[in-house]
Structure 1
Amino acid sequence: MNEKEVLLQACFSYVNKRIASYKGEIDTIKESIEANDKSNDMDDDSGNGKLFNDLEKNAQHLSEATKTLDTLKLINPKKKSEGVSLGSIVKTSKNTFFMAISIGAIDTEENNYFGISLLSPIGQLLKGKMVGDTITFNENTHEILEIK
C-alpha cells in the first residue's frame, strides 16, 4: 500500500468504529425503551424521555459519521494534485497533514500525520495552496514544502 492508502485506511477504520459504536448504542437504547414500555403499565413515560433524547443524539452522531464516510469515499489515493485538495498529503515546515477528515494524529511506520478536514480552520487556510506558499495558523507560520 502506498502512503495515501495507509492514511485513508486509518481514516476508514476510525469512522467505521464510530459508526458501529453509534449503531450499538442506538440498539441498546431501543431495547431499554421497549423494556420500559413492557414493565410500565402506568402512563408514566418519564424514564423514556431521557432515552428518547439519547436516541436522537446518537442518531444525529450516526448521520454525521455516515456523511464523513461518504467524504472519505471521494478520495482517490492514486490522484496527485499540484494544489492542496481533498486527499492531499501536505508537508509543511511544521507538520504533515492528510487532507481528509478531522481525526487528529495518525502515526504510520514512515511518518506522523494530522488528519484534518478541508472545512476545519487550518484546512480552509491550506485549501488550494501550492508548494512554496505559506499560511499562518495560531501564530505559527507553515511553509508548504511538498504536496502529494
Structure 2
Amino acid sequence: MNEKEALLQACFSYVNKRIASYKDEIETIKESIETNDKSNDMEDDSGNGKLFNDLEKNAQHLADATKTLDTLKLINPKKSFDTISLGSIVKTTQNTFFISISMGTIDIGNNNYFGISLLSPIGQLLKGKQVGDSITFNGYTHEILEIK
C-alpha cells in the first residue's frame, strides 16, 4: 500500500466509525422513544421532546458524515498533482497535509500528516498552489516543497 492509499484508508476508517456510531445512537434513541411511549400513560411527552431533539441532531451528523464519505470516494490514490487539489499530499516547510477531509493528525508509519478539507481556511489558501509557492496561515509561512 502506498502513502496516499494508506492515508485514504485511514480517512475511510475514521468516517466509517463515525457513521456506525451515529447509526447506533439513532437506534438507541428510537428504542428509548418507543419505550417511553409504551410506559407513559400520561399525556406528558416532555421526555420524548429531548429524545426527538437528540434524534434530529444525530440524523444531521449522520448526513454530514455520509457527505464526507462521498468526498473521500472522489479521491483517486494513484493520481499525482502539479497543483494542490482534492487528494494531494502537500509537504511544506511547516507540515505535511493530506487534502481530503478535516480530521486532524493522521499517523502513518513514522510520519505525521494533517487531514484537511479544501473548504477549511488553510485548504482554501493552499488550493491551486504549486511547488515553490507559499502561504501564510496563523502567522506561519508555509513554503510548498512537494505535491504528490
TM-score (norm 1): 0.99
Taking the aligned partners of 2:87 and 2:81, their CA distance within structure 1 comes to: 9
The unaligned stretches of length 5 or more in structure 2 are: none
Secondary structure of 1:38 counterpart: helix
The equivalent of 1:147 in structure 2 is 147
Deviation at 1:110, TM superposition (A): 4.2
Q: Which ranges of 4 or more aligned residues in structure 1 deviate by more than 3 Å? A: none
Secondary structure of 2:115 counterpart: strand
Taking the aligned partners of 1:43 and 1:111, their CA distance within structure 2 comes to: 58
The equivalent of 1:130 in structure 2 is 130
Secondary structure of 2:75 counterpart: coil
Deviation at 1:43, TM superposition (A): 1.1
The equivalent of 1:71 in structure 2 is 71
The alignment-based identity, stated in percent, is 83
**105-114 or 18-27, which moves further after superposition?**
105-114
Q: CA offsets per residue over residues 96-127 of structure 1, 9 Å max, x none?
A: 00000000000111411000000000000000
1:16 aligned partner, one-letter code: N
Taking the aligned partners of 1:8 and 1:104, their CA distance within structure 2 comes to: 13
1:23 aligned partner, one-letter code: K
- Equivalences for residues 1-148 of structure 1 within 5 A: 1-148=1-148
**101-110 or 112-121, which moves further after superposition?**
101-110
Deviation at 1:79, TM superposition (A): 0.5
Taking the aligned partners of 1:33 and 1:129, their CA distance within structure 2 comes to: 51
The unaligned stretches of length 5 or more in structure 1 are: none
Secondary structure of 1:143 counterpart: strand
Q: CA offsets per residue over residues 2-51 of structure 1, 9 Å max, x none?
A: 10000000000000000000000000000000000000122110100000
